[in-house]
Chain A
Amino acid sequence: MSKTVIKFENVSKKYNLGYMNFNGFRNFLPKIINRIISTQNNPFQNQTDDDFYALKDVSFELKQGEALGIIGPNGAGKSTILKLLAHTIEPTSGKIIIAGKISALIELGAGFHHELTGRENIYLYGSIMGLRRREIKEKFDSIVAFAELEKFIDTPVKHYSSGMYARLGFAVAIHVEPDILLIDEVLAVGDMNFRKKCYERLHEILSRERTTIIFVSHDIYRVQALCKKTLFLDKGCIRKIGSTPEVISYYENEMNTAMILKDPKGHEHRWGTGEVRITNVYLTDSDGNKTDVFKKNSNMLITINYYAAKKIFNPDFRFIIQTMDGLWLICARSVDSGKNIGSVEGNGTLECFFESLPLLQNAYNISICIGSMDSQIDYDMWPNAARFIIPASTVEGNRYLPSYNGFICWPAKIQHYPSEFREKQG
Chain B
Amino acid sequence: MLTHLKKLLSYHELLINIALRDIKARYKQSLLGTTWAIIQPLSLMLIFTVVFSRFLHIKTNGTPYPIFSYCSLLPWSFFASSLTFAIPSLINNSNLVTKIYFPREIFPIASIMSCFLDFLVAGILFVFMMFYYHIQLSWYALFVPFIVCIQILFTLGIAFFGAAVIVFFRDVRYIVPLGLQLWMFATPVVYPTNLVPVKYLSMYMLNPMAGIMDSYRQVILYRNPPNIKYLGTAVIISLISFSLAYCFFKKVEMKFADAI
| A interface residues with partner B (beta carbon < 8 Å) | 15, 19-20, 32, 35-37, 83, 86-90, 104, 106-107, 110-111, 113, 115-116, 120, 123-124, 127-130, 132-133, 156
Partner of B25, one of A15, A35, A115: A115
CB pair B95–A107 under 8 Å, yes or no, is yes
Are B98 and A88 touching (Cβ within 8 A)?
yes
In whole angstroms, what is the CA distance A78 to B236 when docked? Answer: 48
| Interface pair B28/A86, CB less than 8 Å apart | no
Interface residues of B in 1-20 (CB under 8 A from A): 13-14, 17-18, 20
C-alpha gap A15/B257 in the complex (Å):
12
If A113-B25, A116-B24 touch, does A36 touch B99 (CB 8 Å cutoff)?
no
Q: Which residues of B contact A113 (CB under 8 A)?
A: 21, 25
Query: Do the beta carbons of A115 and B28 come within 8 Å of each other?
Result: yes
Closest 6 CB pairs of A and B: A87-B101, A88-B257, A127-B17, A115-B28, A110-B95, A90-B254
Query: Do B100 and A128 touch (CB < 8 A)?
Result: yes
CB contacts (< 8 Å) of B28 on chain A: these are 115-116, 156
Q: What are 6 pairs between A and B in contact, CB < 8 Å?
A: A15-B258, A19-B258, A111-B99, A115-B24, A124-B18, A128-B100
| Interface residues on chain B, number (Cβ under 8 Å) | 28
Tell me the total A-B contact number using a CB cutoff of 8 A: 75
Contact of B168 among A32, A120, A156 (CB under 8 A): A32
- Complex alpha-carbon distance, A35 and B169, angstroms: 12
A128 vs B21: C-alpha distance in the bound complex, in angstroms?
Answer: 12
A83 touches B257 (CB 8 A): yes
The answer to whether B99 and A110 have CB atoms under 8 Å apart is: yes
Is B173 an interface residue, CB under 8 A from the partner?
A: no
Flag if B17 contacts A124 (CB, 8 Å).
yes
Whole-angstrom distance between the alpha carbons of A173 and B42 in the complex?
Answer: 44
In angstroms, Cα B24 to Cα A87, docked, is: 29
Residue of A with least CB distance to B22: A113
Contacts of B97 in A (CB 8 A): 88
CB contacts (< 8 Å) of B17 on chain A: these are 123-124, 127-128
From residue B117, how far is it (CB to closest CB) to chain A in Å?
A: 16
Looking across the interface, which residue of chain B has its beta carbon closest to that of A85?
A: B101
Instruction: Report whether B101 and A128 are in contact in the complex, using a CB–CB cutoff of 8 Å.
Output: no
Chain B positions within 8 Å of A133 at CB level? 13
B56 at the interface (CB under 8 A from A): no
Residues of B within 8 A of A36 (CB): 168, 252, 255
Whether B29 is near chain A, meaning CB under 8 Å from some CB there, is yes
CB distance from A240 to the nearest CB of B (A): 28
Residue among A36, A107, A115, A124 facing the most chain B CB atoms (10 A cut-off): A36
Distance between A17 CB and nearest chain B CB, rounded to angstroms: 12
Quick check: A116 and B25 within 8 Å, CB to CB? yes
Known: A19-B259, A36-B252, A89-B254. A111 touches B14 (CB 8 A): no
Which chain A positions have C-beta within 8 A of B25? 113, 115-116
Chain A residues positioned under 8 Å from B255 (CB to CB): 36
Q: How far is the CB of A37 from chain B (nearest CB, A)?
A: 8
Once bound together, how far apart are the Cα atoms of A116 and B25, in whole Å?
A: 7
| Given contact pairs A20-B168, A130-B14, a sample of 16 additional A-B residue pairs in the complex whose CB atoms are under 8 Å apart | A19-B259, A36-B168, A86-B100, A88-B101, A88-B257, A89-B258, A104-B100, A106-B99, A115-B24, A116-B28, A123-B17, A124-B17, A124-B18, A124-B21, A128-B17, A128-B102
| A89, B254: Cα distance in complex, Å | 6
For the complex, give the distance between the alpha carbons of A35 and B101 in Å. 22
